[in-house]
Structure 1
Amino acid sequence: MQHNIKMVVFDMAGTTINENNLVYKTLRKAINEAGFNFSLDQVLTEGAGKEKRQAIKSILTVYANINDEEQIGQIYQNFIAQLTEAYTKAEIVPQNNALELFTALKKRNAYVVLNTGYDRLTAQAIIQKLGWKETIDFDGLVTASDVSKNRTDPDMIYFAMNKFGILNSSEVVKVGDSIIDIQEGQNAGCGLSIGITTGAHTVDQLLSANPDFVINDLIDLLPLIA
């Protein structure tokens, strides 16, 4: 049991937002349009949770032994253009029990923060499409473009702690659907680093990162921090 939790940091796509892996399907399409033929599983395994330029770099390095910054940059620009268009057309809905959990955490005086490997413009566009309002539905947003080092580095969590005046990372919980999310929480020294099975990585993949817990639904978090 964890007491005195002051903030819960949630990943966005796959964790609090259900977009049916749209981002990784789009990422795969942009990479493959540059002359590759990677599967969605390959893209998820190496790319999930990472800042998206870094995701492209990891996928190309691991599967094609390519580390061409110019090519990575071109693929990234293509990806962002396609993702912006895809998100305007796609149905994006909250994950099951997301807002119910946010409300319950507010009643416990715990800040609800969203964090993401997206840049801020993309993240805000997604949140706007959901109709969520900062300070009403959730307390804060921190994105890959707000910090100099991205996951697995803990900078995004430290950024959020600084914003809300939290000094002790053991009073913070991190929840995410990828190995990278769990490692980010561990590297920040979070009181709990929790995987969730609603997104990019399977139970076995999540367990490989040694999370404190793996949950199947957001609402399952509440008894863990009672």
Structure 2
Amino acid sequence: MTIQAVIFDWAGTTIDYGSRAPIVAFQQAFANVGIDITEAEIRQDMGLDKYTHIHKIINLPSVQNDWQARFQVLPTSDDCDHIFMDFKAILLASLTEFAQLKPGMAAVIDFLNDNQIAYGSTTGYDEEMLAIVQPIAASQGYRPTVNITSAQTNGIGRPASAMLELACDRLEVTDYANVVKVGDSINDILEGQNADAITVGIIDGSNLMGWSESDFNTLAPVEQTKLRAKVAAQYEAVGADHILQSMVELPALLASLNQPVTELP
């Protein structure tokens, strides 16, 4: 086959090892209204656009119960809007701290450029958030040709395939089956599957793992192995086509996928 395009996610996949920036912002925005939420509660829906994600969190039974106990009423759509605006302000102020490319990305970029494979992104970030991370990533050599948010697909985000399909269309890709979708969350994999694309889940530095690079590197090798196996099992459970320990392995996978098919006589 010939790979026509590679579509990446942003936080946790290409930048922001451990997808830390959204976690910090979600927890602070809810803490500002007196509600504590766990990383696990946040991460179970990572990959959605951030406004939809706020609604998911606020509708969790634990959050509903805490909200009613604190305010004697259930949260409203206005409450969601308020939390989202606070979340967004916190995230925008911190994104520059989390825009470093993940290990292995330089080699990935070189491979894509050397083989003239188009690449773009879909993301749960909005345009303002992208406006901050894009130039920082570009200064490190990462310059996706297209960057699609749910605002460009009438609010339809992951796990639907609309953003990926729009990215492919703008790259003039004719066959989604020859597209590789690379992500770090379950919603990334589902997005790719819903477009009939090849799906690749990244383990190290992923949302599913959740550890910062420095904290992960302090773990004993046996603990690192356990964490990696746990993440791999989650990708396997949803049927990811390929599971890689890190971005370092992606060029070799792309090279193997990009081989011409030999027809039998």
Please say whether Structure 1 and Structure 2 have the same fold, judged by a TM-score greater than 0.5.
yes
- Kept in 2, the 8 Å contact 1:102–1:138? The answer is no
Q: Distance in 1 between matches of 2:189 and 2:75?
A: 26
TM-score normalised over the length of structure 1: 0.89
Aligned to 2:90: 82
Match of 2:239 in 1: 210
Equivalent residue for 2:10?
12
Measure the CA separation in 2 of the matches of 1:91 and 1:76. 20
**Aligned 1:107-186 pairs, distance under 5 A:** 107-132=114-139, 137-148=143-154, 149-186=156-193
Distance 1:118 1:138 in 2: 15
Shift of 1:122: 0.8
- Amino acid of the residue matched to residue 242 of structure 2? F
Quick check: 32-41 or 111-120, which moved more?
Answer: 32-41
Distance 1:176 1:67, change over 3 A: farther
Q: How does 1:27-42 map to 2 (within 5 A)?
A: 27-42=26-41
What is the CA-CA distance between 1:144 and the residue it aligns to? Answer: 2.6
For the residues of structure 2 that align with 1:54 and 1:84, how far apart are their CA atoms?
17
Give SS of 2:116's match: coil
**Residues 16 and 102, structure 2, Cα contact 8 Å, conserved in 1:** yes
Amino acid at match of 2:250: L
Q: Percent identity?
A: 23
Task: Give unmatched runs, 5+ long, in structure 2.
Answer: 65-73, 210-230, 257-265
Task: Call closer, same or farther: CA 1:206–1:31 in 2, change over 3 Å.
Answer: farther
Separation in structure 1 between the aligned mates of residue 157 and residue 98 of structure 2, nearest angstrom = 28
Alpha carbons of 1:141 and 1:107: their partners in 2 closer, same or farther (altered >3 Å)?
same
Q: What is the count of residue pairs matched by the alignment?
A: 220
What amino acid maps onto 1:53 in structure 2? Y
Does the 8 Å CA contact 1:31/1:56 hold for their aligned counterparts?
no
Q: Bigger radius of gyration, 1 or 2?
A: 2
Normalising by the residue count of structure 2, what TM-score does the alignment of the two structures yield?
Answer: 0.77
Q: Do structure 1's residue 195 and structure 2's residue 224 form an aligned pair?
A: no
Query: Per-residue deviation at 1:44?
Result: 1.1
Unaligned residue ranges in structure 1 (runs of 5+): none
Q: Distance in 2 between matches of 1:59 and 1:175?
A: 25
CA 1:145–1:166 in 2, change beyond 3 Å: closer, same or farther?
same
